[in-house]
Amino acid sequence: MRSRYSAFVVSDQAYLLATWHEETRPSNVRVNDKHRWLGLRIRATDGGGEHDLTGAVEYVARYKVDGKGHRLHETSRFLKKDGHWYYFDGEHL
């Protein structure tokens, strides 16, 4: 989760696609260069341990656009495949 947040901060579209599960991966990822990311707070986790195949992370990411503050509050689901975690989907809260 933290690595994907960091990829949004630096607009690393290739990393975002590479860490997106093949079943739900879009053909491209649009990042908004006007977003100035301010921080990530993990609120809760479920699963995602070394021996798990699924995990979920509830988080709040804060950012500004044109000086106005915004919050992205989501629960993201991840699946492990071949020892690597992939973002599967998310639910905005």
Q: The domain that contains 6 carries what CATH number?
A: 3.10.450.50
CB atoms within 10 A of CB 63: 19
What is the distance of C-alpha 88 from the center of its chain?
10
Count of structural domains, the chain: 1
CA-based nearest residue to 72, from 85, 57, 87: 57
What is the distance of C-alpha 51 from the center of its chain?
21
pLDDT at 1: 85
Q: What is the pLDDT of residues 41-89, one digit of tens each?
A: 999 999 999 999 999 999 999 999 999 999 999 999 999 999 999 999 9
Domain that holds residue 43: 2-92
